[in-house]
Amino acid sequence: MTLKSADPRDPPDIDFRYFDEDSDPDGQDLKSVVDGIKFVRKATRALYEKGIAKQELLPGDQVQSDEELMDFVRSQAWGHHASCTCPIGGEYDGGVVSSDFRVHGVKNLRVVDASVFPRIPGFFIVSSVYMIGEKAADVILNSRS
Ligand SMILES: Cc1cc2nc3c(=O)[nH]c(=O)nc-3n(C[C@H](O)[C@H](O)[C@H](O)COP(=O)(O)OP(=O)(O)OC[C@H]3O[C@@H](n4cnc5c(N)ncnc54)[C@H](O)[C@@H]3O)c2cc1C
C-alpha cells in the first residue's frame, strides 16, 4: 500500500500482488484457480447440453485457452480478508502501532481495525476484528481513568 500524495483525502494505491508473490514462484496458485474453472466447466457441461443451464456468464465461452483463463484470473480474482498493513509491534521491529494502538511517532492517533494484526488470523478474520475492537475499547477507556 502506497500513499499517492500528501493529501489525506486521496485514496491510497493498494496493490494486493495476487499471484505475484515469492510464495507462488512456479505459478501453482494461479494454475490451481485455472484448474478449478476447468473442473467446474467439466462438471456443469451436462447442464448446458440438457438445456438446464443456459449460458456461462463468467469467464464466458469466449475465454478458453489456458493463457486466456490465466489472464481472467489475474485480473478478476480477489480476496476480502486484507489485514496487517499497520501491525502492532515495536517501532524498530517493523511495527506501526504500539500495544495500546497508538501510531508510533504520531500524537493522538490510534488505529483499530484489521490492519493491526501482526500476522494474518488463521481463519475468517471478522471475529478477530470484533475482538480487537473490544480490546481497544478497554485500553482506551482505561487510559482515561
Ligand atoms: C464481500 C466481503 C465479504 C466478507 N465476508 C466475510 C466473512 O464471511 N467472514 C469474515 O470473517 N470476514 C469477511 N469479510 C472481511 C471482513 O468484513 C473485513 O475483514 C472486516 O470488516 C474488516 O474490518 P475493518 O474494521 O478493518 O474495516 P471495515 O469493516 O471496512 O470498516 C472500515 C470503516 O471505516 C469507514 N470509513 C472509511 N473511510 C472513512 C472516512 N474517511 N471517514 C469515516 N469513516 C470511514 C467505512 O465506512 C467502514 O465503516 C468480508 C469482506 C467483504 C468485502
Would you give the end-to-end CA distance of the chain in angstroms? 36
What interhelical angle do 28-49 and 66-76 show, nearest 10?
A: 110
Q: How far is the CA of 79 from the centre of ligand 1 (A)?
A: 13
φ, ψ of residue 118 in degrees (nearest 5): -65, -30
Residues in a beta bridge with 97: 88, 103
pLDDT for residue 19: 85
User: pLDDT by residue (tens digit) across 14-66?
Assistant: 888 888 877 678 889 899 999 999 999 999 999 999 999 999 999 999 999 99
Calculate mean pLDDT across residues 119-132: 93
Q: How far is the CA of 103 from the centre of ligand 1 (A)?
A: 20
Select from 129, 130, 131, 132 the residue to mutate for testing ligand 1; criterion: most ligand atoms less than 8 Å from CB: 129
Query: Which cell numbers hold the place of 95?
Result: 511495527
Q: What percent of the chain has pLDDT over 90?
A: 78
Q: How many residues does the chain have?
A: 145
